[in-house]
Amino acid sequence: MSRIVCIALFIFAVAAQAQEPQQEYTLNAGDAVRIHVYGEPDLTFDKMLIGQNGRISYPFLGELRVAGGTAADLQDKLVDGLQPDYLISPRVSVSIVKYRPFFVNGEVKRPGGVDFQPGLTLRKAISLAGGFTERANKKEFLVISDDDPESREREARLDYRVQPGDIITVRDTFF
């Protein structure tokens, strides 16, 4: 019996941890969300892209600013907007279906934009960009975070957790 309880607690902890990034993740232009309003197929969208202006266009509610908020914030905004004028008690769920890309430049074989995947480290991001070139400095990396308003370059290590919108530069070496 205690074994079953331990397994159930473990599964619950893993599931809660897996959902945490979406709750904390800040939406921005280029992300895509799935909006499901239970029992309302006309208000349900499998993939809605957040525009460059940080907004989505939603039936009855018009243009909604969603950049800077979380999926939970968008869910609350939709419930508040649909209730009471359009639906009595709307049940809405919002999930992220596509994250905005990050970018790798410098001494990698395939520089450019790469689709973000939760849990990516700098090491994995470089692999997705084709790996190091022969001239790459394998110890010095710079990152500009999308959420840094001053766009400062900062040094990073291979275990750095990549975020959507990051710009990663792999420096070259002189030898």
Are residues 131 and 66 part of one domain?
A: no
Q: How far apart are CA 103 and CA 113, in angstroms?
A: 4
pLDDT digit string, tens, across residues 114-159: 999 999 999 999 999 999 999 999 999 999 998 888 999 999 999 9
Are residues 112 and 67 part of one domain?
A: no
9 inside domain: no
Are residues 127 and 81 part of one domain?
A: no
Q: State the total domains in the chain.
A: 2
Domain C-terminal end among 79, 98, 117: 98
162 within 8 A of 168, measured Cβ to Cβ:
yes
For every residue of 70-138, DSSP letters joined together read -HHHHHHHHHHHHTTTT-SS--EEEEEEEPPPEEEEESBSS-EEE---TT-BHHHHHHHTT-B-TTEEE
Are residues 146 and 82 part of one domain?
A: no
10 inside domain: no
pLDDT digit string, tens, across residues 60-116: 999 999 999 999 999 999 999 999 889 999 999 999 999 999 999 999 999 999 999
